[in-house]
């Protein structure tokens, strides 16, 4: 039943992608727009394949992903510490709430000029932006998750002789998993957008440069097909992580357990 539905969804997606492709091709072939700025699909795909084969796009994608991974990990650690201390100390809770209220509405990209002044351009600055994008939504969600845990769970933990550390490890952490996943999804989405923009502004300072730099470079050389290739990769990775990875992870965990929020 579910499998059939999945197939259907997949077929529906494919159908509309093909339709959109045909519309695109018709517009391109009609030459209403200049072919260099509105390339045909085969030129576009050929350019993408060329960039994949010579490794350019792969290296830059991996570089962007590695930056995100570092930023996410760092953000995760900071969030766990911030939310953990908030749960223990009332004083600190007020502090964290205030900091989140100030920092959360600030888009990462708006911080770029300041970060450049403080840290220069380079990997450290990009990771700073990523951490900023991740830490606030994740902390907010972790806090919401901890607060939403039924009191009865803690009572059961104490009843069976668990100390505070074991209660956190065996009860509070798994019980807040739905909120954790939500936080991670928002964090990822923000980090992914932040990293592409930051790379475009920073360029390839110090190393290979990432996907953002890749599409920026293509623009500079008026390589529209290459630029679209970069965009396609960005879309594909977004779909892969948001629709496939998180979806699958949720199906294996909170959806199976009936814990979705």
Partner 1 sequence: MRCLLEIKEVSKSFKKDKRKVKVLNDVSFSVKKREFVSVVGPSGCGKSTLLSLIAGFDEYDEGNIYFKGEKVIAPSPERVMVFQDFNQLFPWKTVIENVLFPLNVNKKETTLNERKDLAKKYLKMVKLEGYEDYYPNEISGGMKQRTAIARALIMKPEILLMDEPFGSLDAQTRMQLQTTLIELLEEIETTIVFVTHDIEEAVVLSDRIIALGKSSNSIKDVMVNNLDRPRDRLSNKFIEKVKKVYDKIKE
Site track 224-243 with partner 1 (rule: CB under 8 A), x = hit: --------------------
CA distance 97 to 144: 12
Q: Which of 36, 89, 98, 155 binds partner 1 (CB under 8 A)?
A: 155
Site track 194-213 with partner 1 (rule: CB under 8 A), x = hit: --------------------
CA distance 229 to 217: 12
- Smallest distance, partner 1 to C-beta of residue 198, A: 37
Q: Which of residues 10-29 bind partner 1 (CB under 8 A)?
A: none
- Smallest distance, partner 1 to C-beta of residue 175, A: 7
Is 249 a binding residue for partner 1 by CB under 8 A? The answer is no
Contact in structure between 93 and 174 (CB atoms under 8 Å): no
Is 257 a binding residue for partner 1 by CB under 8 A? The answer is yes
SS3 per residue for 23-90: HHHHHHHHCCCCCCCCCCHHHHHHHHHHHHHCCHHHHHHHHHHHHHHHHHHHHHHHHHHHHHHHHHCH
Which range touches partner 1 (CB under 8 A), out of 4-12, 162-170, 204-212, 224-232?
Answer: 162-170
For 21-32, letters b (16+ CB in 10 Å) and e give eeeeeeebeeee
Q: Which of 68, 171, 194, 196 binds partner 1 (CB under 8 A)?
A: 171
Is 158 a binding residue for partner 1 by CB under 8 A? The answer is yes
Long-range contacts formed by 87-96: CB under 8 A, 24+ apart: 87/143, 87/146, 96/139, 96/143
Q: Which of residues 176-195 bind partner 1 (CB under 8 A)?
A: 177
Which range touches partner 1 (CB under 8 A), out of 1-9, 39-47, 49-57, 168-176?
Answer: 168-176
CA distance 23 to 18: 9
Site track 105-144 with partner 1 (rule: CB under 8 A), x = hit: ----------------------------------------
How many angstroms separate the Cα of 193 from the Cα of each of 74, 186, 196, 228?
Answer: 17, 11, 5, 17
- The residue ranges that bind partner 1 (CB under 8 A) are 150, 152-153, 155-156, 158-162, 166, 170-171, 174-175, 177, 253, 256-259
């Amino acid at each position: 039943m579910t499998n059939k539905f999945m197939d259907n969804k997949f077929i529906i997606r494919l159908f509309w992608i093909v339709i959109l492709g045909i519309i695109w091709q018709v517009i391109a072939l009609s030459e209403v727009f200049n072919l260099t700025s509105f390339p045909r699909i085969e030129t576009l795909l050929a350019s993408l394949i060329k960039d994949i084969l010579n490794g350019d796009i792969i290296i830059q994608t991996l570089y962007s992903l590695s930056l995100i991974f570092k930023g996410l990990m760092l953000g995760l650690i900071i969030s766990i510490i911030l939310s953990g201390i908030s749960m223990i100390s009332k004083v600190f809770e007020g502090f964290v709430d205030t900091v989140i209220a100030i920092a959360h509405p600030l888009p990462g990209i708006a911080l770029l000029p300041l970060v450049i002044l403080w840290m220069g351009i380079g990997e450290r600055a990009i990771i700073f932006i990523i951490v900023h994008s991740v830490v606030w939504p994740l902390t907010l969600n972790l806090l919401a998750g901890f607060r939403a845990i039924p009191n009865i769970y803690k009572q059961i933990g104490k009843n069976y002789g668990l100390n505070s550390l074991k209660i956190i490890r065996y009860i509070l952490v798994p019980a807040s998993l739905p909120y954790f996943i939500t936080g991670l999804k928002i964090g990822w989405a923000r980090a992914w957008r932040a990293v592409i923009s930051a790379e475009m502004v920073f360029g390839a300072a110090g190393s290979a440069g990432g996907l953002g730099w890749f599409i920026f470079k293509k623009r500079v050389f008026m390589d529209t097909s290459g630029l679209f290739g970069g965009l396609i990769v960005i879309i594909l990775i977004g779909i892969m992580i948001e629709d496939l990875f998180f979806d699958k992870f949720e199906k294996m965990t909170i959806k199976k357990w009936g814990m979705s929020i």
